[in-house]
Homo-oligomer: A and B are copies of this chain.
Amino acid sequence: MPHLTFILGGARSGKSAHAEKLIEQLSGPWFYIATAQAFDDEMRQRIHLHRERRGSPWQTIEAPLDLCAALDAIPDGAPVLVDCLTLWLSNQMLADADLESQCAALAEKLAHSRGPWFVVSNEVGLGIVPDNALARRFRDEAGRLNQSIAAVANRVLFMVAGLHIQVK
């Protein structure tokens, strides 16, 4: 069982469902670290649907910003799903955080996963260059973060239409 599995894919590619399926084959309890912040109804609805899909043996922890502290609080050996890195990155940018140090600290934390940890992230760099500078910056930062996490992961899956391609 790899310590760190990194699950990357586009919107609605089945990343979260695949991660949940992999974790639910392990013995619980399972920890779900949600990075989502419910700013509006659309996001509240997405969070609600995600929660409904997951059953009760899941323990949910909300960590829109301090993901490292949330990971520190997890017992050794427990299965964890972090969903997802791109929302966390977006929260960091909105909070005007020092991205370089935040991302380095997270990569370091995940490089020393203390159990079967599963991390979900969005690939956002395969479309046309965005019009606005903020979106371009987000795209660059997300790509860099994804590369650094993939580098320390034992297993990397790229999701396509609910199916996975094992990249590492």
Contact = CB atoms under 8 A, between A and B. Distances in A.
Interface of A: 6, 8-14, 42, 123-130, 133, 135-136, 138-140, 142-144, 146-147, 149-151, 156, 158, 160-165, 167-168
A129 B135 CA distance: 9
A129 B42 CA distance: 13
Contacts of A130: 127-128
Given A123-B161, A167-B161, A10 B143 contact: yes
B11 A140 contact: yes
Number of copies: 3
A12 B140 contact: yes
Nearest to A163: B167
Contacts of A168: 163
Nearest to A46: B140
Nearest to A140: B12
Nearest to A157: B160
Contacts of A9: 125-126
A144 B162 CA distance: 9
Contacts of A14: 147
A147 to B, nearest CB: 4
Contacts of A129: 11, 124
Contact of A126 (B126, B133, B147, B164): B126
A139 to B, nearest CB: 5
